[in-house]
Every structure is written in structure tokens, then in C-alpha cells.
Amino acid sequence: YNKRLEPETKAVIEWMSKIPFVLSANLHGGALVANYPWDDGPEPQVEHRVNVAPDNDVFRALALTYSMKHPRMHLGKPCNIDQGGVLDDAFPDGITNGATWYPVTGGMQDYNYVHTNAFEITIEVGCYKFPPAEQLPTFWLENRDALLSYIEMARKGVHGTVKSSIGNPIPRAKIEVEGIDHPIYAAQGGDYWRMLVPGQYNITASAYGYEPSTQTIKIGPQRESRGDEVTLDFSLMRDDNEHWSSAYDYGLLKNLQRKGYLKNVDLNNQMGRLESVQSDSIVEFEAGENTDSMAIHSLRITRNLGAPEENKIHIALVGGLFATQPIGREMYIRLANHLVEGNKIGDPPIVKLLDNTVIHIIPGLDPKFDTVPDVCHPKLEDEIGTQIMKGTTVPNPVTTAFKHMMATEGYDVIVTALGGSVGVSYTEDYLNVYKNIAEAYDASMHKDNCDYDNNNSSDFGDYVMKNYNIPVIALSLSCCDYPPAENIFNIWRDNLMPLRELLLNLATGVRAQVMNEKNEPIREAKVQIKTQGYPVTKNLAYFVKTMAPGKYSLTFSADGYIPRTIDFAVKKNEMTELKVQLLPLKSIGSVEPIVQEKSDHGKVGDNGISHTLEFFSSKHAPISELITVGKTSKGTTVSAIKIGKKSVETKPSIIFTAGMDNEPAITSHVLLNLANYLLENYAVDRSIADLVDNHTIYIVPSLLPDKKPGTSCSLYSSELEFPIDGQLAGDAKMIVDWLKKVKAVVAVNLNSGSKHVEIPFGFNSKNASDLRTNDEEIFNYLASTYIQKHPTMSKDPKCQDNLKIGKNGITRSGTALPDEHKDRLIDYVYQKTSTLMLDVYITCCNSNIPSDLFEANKQSLLSIISGMEKGVSGYVVNENGEPIVDALLSYDDSPHIIENSENGAFWILLPAGSHAITAKANGYIEDTKVLTTPDIKQYSRLIFKLKHNDTIFGLPRLVFVIFTGIIAFGIIVIGIYCFSKCRASRAEERNNRRAYAFSLLRDGSSFFDDDEKEVELFKRPARNSEKELLVGHEISDARPYFDHDNSEDEDETSDLEFVQPDREWQERKPIIYD
């Protein structure tokens, strides 16, 4: 916006305002695209952020109409002429939202949409800004049909006339479409043309002095209504003033019947009477109580007058800032009457308004009004408004008093009512609160085309904002500085309801009181919204601020107290009440700075953090739990807090760690703030409750409590090494063992010394110089998610000149510094655990205030939690639906292996696309499934039902048993056969060696049965000691017994001879005969 317009610009603006254009096109060169509003972004200096206009559907239809009729534009291909930058972008369907492409402030298409009836798009007709002359015929042929089709669109929608009940056209009648915040105005002949896409609409026509009329109309698809124009005429009835007053102004005759402007004396008398009208004292007429009120007479209107007012919004309504612009005098005295009467009859909106605000009304600031001539644009020197802004050599008591009032009264906003133009100006604020309020008022006004434009409104606002830090909204209500007296009532009628709505909007916001644990106000407390800080009131420690409806986050802090961040929602026309209690640091142990202490039981370490986490978990027991990560090599306990809704269902986990960097205190405090923020806002913010209910969040503020703080702001972090192929020991093993136990999906490790995000190296690449991981896309997604929500990280704010960081703020593990640091934790975690880990560097040095640093990183930390829901989740179960524990899941070609949880659940972060996922477990047959994940923040569901592995060496169990049995049986048969053959062979060998030997026959086996039986009767054992000595053991010898016949010769031998059993032959013993 330029206050001083160039002649050419001014000429175009005047031309556009005089002719009621319906459709417009601005032809450019340099690209091939149809560009539609808005051209300016929703946030200054932010590129590629879509910003749609209220009539976005119409603008897209216009752009598509042109693009589709162009032979090449609809293809959406870039020019590829090596100009670089935005001119080489590609555009789907050949159209783009202007702000999405690149933001342009003050573009012509935006101006025309706001200030005229014309719907304008910018058409880039070719790739060259200054094409050669010989190409012009080609340009014409390519764009001819598109231009003609675009012109035809001017008759799409609805058109008609607005007339009075007696048939007279009503110029400048306002045409509004319900649900679309963009009115247009009828031409001088009462005709209007409103472009709309097919659909059903409620359309209202209104004008000064007429009752508004609303009609419903349906616009069919273009193929049905082509050639059939939709017409809608309005006939408005004259509005009766008394009827309007009764309906909207409580029937106040003094606001209705008075003719002309009030002189200063009459104005003071009116204010004095208001003080005495209200029995419950809501009005105070300030005139003569002090130096300021002697020079400036004013009204103070609020309920419970006399009670402390520091918990209310203070609104100053200033009229007559310039004596030549007196319309504010009449508007604000009527408004005072309206407020008093509304409170008197108990109108709820007015009662609520006066409960939450103190309205200071100064209807006539400049006392020179009585001398001003009654003309449209009177001239007067040294008006009060001019003296305030430019100063004066002669002190003026009114100017001095008003400056003193702005410095001491505590005005939260000043609203002036002026003449000289029709519109609303405002001073900028970083939350766009007053911008939204001013634009809402401006949209409700009946606009006139003024030949004269008064710039005093914005000049005064800039001055007050710069010198007193008070926002200013300036209402310009008439083209004339001094509108005719007969127009006063019409102006009042047109502005009463917008004024009421403005006051109600200003009374919308937050009221917070900051107290300690004894409910005593903490008067030195500070309140922070984003990057802006505010003090609380000096007495009761209130923070009161106007805010637009929406969700906000406030951080409360004070010296000696733990900072506290609270999320809350502001509802329309409501003042959100907050009671904030800050806890002293000593109640939970020292938190800042962190100290390490010893106890009688050995090292406790990081006592402040441990006590703080213990306090958090005890205060929020239903959703938090104090846990132990492990013990360091020096015996120090590492504490963490587990945050999540307690249930039997397993949820995806995320880990936040800190304390491994060179200066751990600052990063540890950021995580303490994060834990406090999640726990405190769980019950009051639905979005925080969703994060806590659907995730398990582990926060470890000090992963290495034994680490001593560094002496400089170095990027080097822990000296621990985590070799991929080596053995871990000490603190490194403790950390990794806990990470493997938790099996988190994502981990974020906070560091200091820079502002960037590091992702792991790739180790599986076929090309040694290619350092990308197989999960490059998902790592970049996580890193970008963090960076995009950070206010400065994406702007490449290098803390040191020698840092090697990409423009997007992402770099590889350990490569930011010239001398690379290897064996980093995030590389090991990627290769050896179920977790994807980022190293996030959040501050250049340790000089940041923890609460400020947390506020800068809060949205990034929260977005990482919500950003986890991208990929695949499910269960690994057996055929009976029972969970399989310790199943391993792999995907695509990634070396990253995920181990499922105890109940079989798993989560895998994956980019959009097709993926092959494999699940395997001991004793089960592995299974691979292919699925496609959409590009949305939601897990795709996948169930693996693994079958028991009944195979042994690749054979089914039954087949293996049968086969094994056959083999065993064969071995036994072969063994028996071999044994039999061996026995037979040895027996044959013995028989061959003793062929001459004899042995005693069995009983009854001889041919001499009778004789042998007889001989058997006389057998007896016999011993032979000589034989025993000879053979080494006792030998049994069976002999027959005979009665010796004396007559016979003893030397005579028997005819029976006996030999030793074959045992002796086997043992190769000599055979001895008797």
C-alpha cells in the first residue's frame, strides 16, 4: 500500500471505480499460467502458502476456462527457458493461486476484487516477457479462443436490478451472497451482475433507507443454463425510521429526532444527563476533577463503577479529533445513549460488554467545532489532531491533556470516527487482531465512491502506535469531512450495528491472573505470546488482551518460578478466563541452573531434573510415570518421564532426549518445558489430549547427567562412540539397551551449537560416494516437519561461517563441521534398533531463555509427534490370532529392521507409494505383503498372520518323520545283517581251525542211548589241582564212576575217552587227558 499514488496508478484506480466492470483480465508475459487471487500471502514474506479469496470457486472456474481453451497452457508444463526462479515452475492444469506461486503485495487483481465489482485474474500468455515481433501472430492465435471464452464468463451467475417499491432504481445498493464475504454494488441504474458457480444461494439486497430483501435462487450446471441467463430482481420497501429505532436502537427518540449537530455546550449537557440517568452508576462524567478532565470532557461507562478495572479491556472512543470532521461527535454521543439504555433494560450483549470493558467516550476532542463552517470540506488551521501529530510552538491544554491521558489511562485500543472518506484503517499487530476487526467493519459498510480521500486517519494511528504503543482503528464514515446534518441519522443507522459488533469483538479475548501457590498475585510475572512479551498489571497481576477467536498458547514466567505454558481457545464474543498458578523452583528442587548433588546412597545426579520429573509424575499420575533409563558408568541414575494415557493397548512411541551436547542445561530445560506443557494442557486442549491419548511419549531431559558443561558454544556433542560393527560398553551400551527395550518409532535428540537438523548416513548404497539412506524420503519428511514449524531454522541462520548446512536446514550426521565426527548415535540407532532418530540443533549458544527457546521449538516438537502417523501399522499374530512376540519386520531394500511390541503391534514410517513388507519370527513361516500407502497423515492397517513352520530341513514334519523312520529302519536292518554276517564268518573260521576235535554229545543224542543213560548215573565232578596250575583256573571234568575190579589190571584203559569242551579250543588252551 502506497500513501502517495503514482499518476498512472491513480488514473487506473479512478477509471475502475467509475465503470462497474464485472470481469477483468491482466495480461502478462514470462510464464504460461492463469493466476487468480489472492496474490498476497496470509503471512508476510512466506512463500508457497496458499491464500484463497472468498470467491475462490469462481476464480478457479475463470482460470480453468482460459487455460482449457489455450492449446498449451492446460498442460501445465514449465517454460524451461533457463530463466530460473518462479518463471520455470510447472502448474497443474495451467492455473495457480497467486500466493502459492509467489506473494505479491499490492497487486492489481487483489485491489480490483477488494475495491470494485470486477473479478480479475492475471494471465501469463507466454514464456517471454518481451517476445520477438514475428511471434505475435502465434501469440494471438494461441490466446484468441481463450480470450473469447473468458469474456463469455461475464454473464455466468446472476444479474438483475434493484428498485424501490415505486420503480425507481436504487444506485449503490449492496448485493451480498450468504456464505461469501464479498459484497458487490449496483450501478447507477440499479443493475448488478454477480458472478457465481452453479449452486443454490441466498442473496440479499440492501440500501440506505430501505428494508433489506433476501431471495433464494438456484444456478444450474453450465451445460443446462448455457444461453439461459439467471436473473433476480429486487424491490425494496422504504424503511420507517421509528420502526428501525424500535428494532435496533431501543426506540431512543433522542437518537432519532434530533436535527443538526450539537454545539459544545449541548454536548456537555448530554453527557452530564447520562451520568444521572442510570441508577446503578455505570456512567461517570469526567469534567473538572483534574487538569486532564478540565481540558477534555469525557464519559467512563462500565458496570461496577469504582471497582478495580485492571481486569477489563479499556476502549477509548474519540470523536472530533479534527474540528472539521464532526461526525464522530454525533455517533459517539448516540452510542453512549444506546449503551446506557441497553444496560438499563438488561440486554445480554450490552451487559456482558460492560462487564468486560471500560468504555472511555470523548465525543468532541477539538473544541473549535463551533467555529467551523458548514461545508463539505472546510479548512481550519491547527486542529487538535494535527497538533498531536506535528506538535505546536504554543502549548495547547487539550493536546497536552490528551497526550497525558494516552500515557496514563491504560487504553488498550483507540477507535476514532472521522470524515473525508468511507472505509476503515488500522495499525498492524502481529496477531492481526485489529486487522480482522477492521476488515469486518469495513465489509459491513455501504461504500461510496469518494472524490476526496482523507489520509489523516492512518497518519494519526501510526503516530499513536509509535509513541504510545496503543493500537488505533480509524472509522471514516462519510465522503464529506463535514457531512450535511440531514445525513447524520442515515449514517447512524448504517453504523450502529457495526459499532456494536466492533465493541463486542474488542471485548473478545483472554483474561488471566497469575498467582503463586498461596493464591497471591505475582506482580513481576511476564506473559509471552509467540515472540511478544507483556507485563501483568501492577496490583492484581492480570493479563487482559483482545484476541480473535481461535486457539492460542501463553507462556507465563517469573523470576524464581517454573515457567508454565497453557493452550486455550477464544470463542466469539467471549472473554476466556484463566487462573494461572506458578510453582517456585525450590518446591521441586533446583531447576535452573541444574546442579548435581550427592547423597548418602551414592550418586543421585541431576537432582533438580529428577525432582522435577518426580513432581510432574505425581501431579499428573493418570497420564504420566517416572521411569529409569539406566545407570551411567559412574552409578548415576538416568530418569525419564513417560507420558501417555494408561491402557492395555500399545501405542506408537516417541522419545525426546537431551543432555548429550556441549552445553546440556539449555536443551534439558526445553524438554522440561515440553513435559510440563503436555501435562498441563492435557485437560484443556483437545489437540494435546489427542497426542497424549494416541502416543506414548518418553522425555529424557538429561541422558548423560555426569557430563560436565562445556566452556564454549561448540557444535561438538558427546564424546561417546557408537561403532556399527563394534562392541558397546559403558554409557553407550546403557543408552542403546534402553532404546532397544522401548522400540520407539521416532527419537529426537536435542543439541546446541547450531540451528539445523541432522539425519543418518546411508551404509547400504552401491555407490560409496552416495551417502543417502534407503529411508531418505522419510528422514527428510521428519526433518522438514520440524524445520517448517520453526520460526528461523528454515532461513539458514548459520551460527558459524564454517558450518556446512544445506539451504533447507538439513545435513548428514556429523558433517556440519569440516572435521567429521563418526560413530554417531543416530547412525547406530538407524542400523541396529527399531527407531528412526534425528539430531536437532536448536540454539547457537546457551544464552537463550529456556521459555523463549521452548516457545520457538514448541510447534516443531508437537508436529513431530503428530507427524509420526504416516506409513503402516498393524499386528503380527499366529493362526489363532495370538500375538507373536519379537517378530522382525523389514521393508523394501531398507537395512532398518523393526521389532514388534509385546502384543504383536508394529509401526513403520513409510512415504506414499508401493512397499513390500516382510514379517518373520522363529518357528513361523515368513510372509511378505505388498501395499500402497496414501499421501495422508494416517497409518494404513496391515495384519500378518504367520503359520507355524512345520518343516524340518525344508520338509513337512510328517514326511520328515516317515523319511527318518525309513532311514533308521534301514540302518537297523543293515546293522543286523552285518552283525549276522560277522558272526557267521567268525563261526565258520573257528570250525575250520578245529575240524579234528570232538565233544561230548547231548543226552539222548547218541546211537547208544541206553548205554549213555547208564553211564550218566555215575558221573561225578572231579578236580585236578595240576590242571588248575596249568591253565590258571578251575576246570570242570566230568568222569563216569566205575567200581574197580581188583582182578583187572589198573593200567587197562577204558574204551570211553573224553575231551574238553570247545571253550578250551576257543581260548586256545591245551587239552589235557587223564
Please tell me which residue in 14, 120, 124, 649 is annotated as part of the active site: 124
> How many other C-beta atoms lie within 10 A of the C-beta of residue 893?
9
Query: Beta strands 230-231 and 158-164: pairing type?
Result: parallel
- Torsion, CA 496, CA 498, CA 501, CA 505, rounded to 10: -130
Tell me the pairing of strands 509-515 and 575-581. parallel
Residue 834 contacts residue 780 (beta carbons within 8 Å)? no
The alpha carbon of residue 472 and the mean position of all alpha carbons in its chain are separated, in whole angstroms, by: 33
Best CA proximity match to 398, nearest among 468, 508, 322, 462: 322
Do 591 and 562 form a contact (C-beta atoms < 8 A)? Answer: yes
Whole-number Å distance between alpha carbons of 11 and 22:
19
Q: How far apart are CA 323 and CA 282, in angstroms?
A: 29
Is the distance from CB of 924 to CB of 947 less than 8 angstroms? yes
Residue closest to 190 by CA, chosen among 159, 212, 151, 218: 159
What distance in Å separates the CA atoms of residue 785 and residue 864, rounded to the nearest whole number?
6
φ/ψ of 710, rounded to 5, equals -75, 170
H/E element holding 89? none
Please tell me whether the peptide bond between 38 and the residue prior to it is cis, using omega within 30 degrees of 0.
yes
What's the burial of 38, exposed, middle or buried (CB within 10 Å: 0-12/13-18/19+)?
buried
Helix (H) or strand (E) holding 1037: strand 1037-1040
| 3-class DSSP assignment, residue 555 | strand
d(CA 314, CA 166): 48
- Is 124 annotated in the active site? yes
CB atoms within 10 A of CB 1038: 12
Please answer whether residues 905 and 874 qualify as being in contact, where contact means their C-beta atoms are separated by less than 8 angstroms.
yes
Residue 479 near residue 452 (C-beta atoms within 8 A): yes
Please answer whether residues 946 and 919 qualify as being in contact, where contact means their C-beta atoms are separated by less than 8 angstroms: yes
**Residues 161, 167 contacting (CB under 8 angstroms):** no
Could you give the maximum distance between any two Cα atoms of the chain, in Å?
Answer: 197
The number of beta carbons lying within 10 Å of the beta carbon of residue 466 is: 9
> Rounded distance, CA 632 to CA 637, Å?
7
- For helices 776-788 and 850-866, the axis angle rounded to 10 degrees is 140
Grid cell listed for 563: 515457567
- 414 bridge partner residues: 316, 472
Strand partners for 1017: none
- The catalytic residues are 124
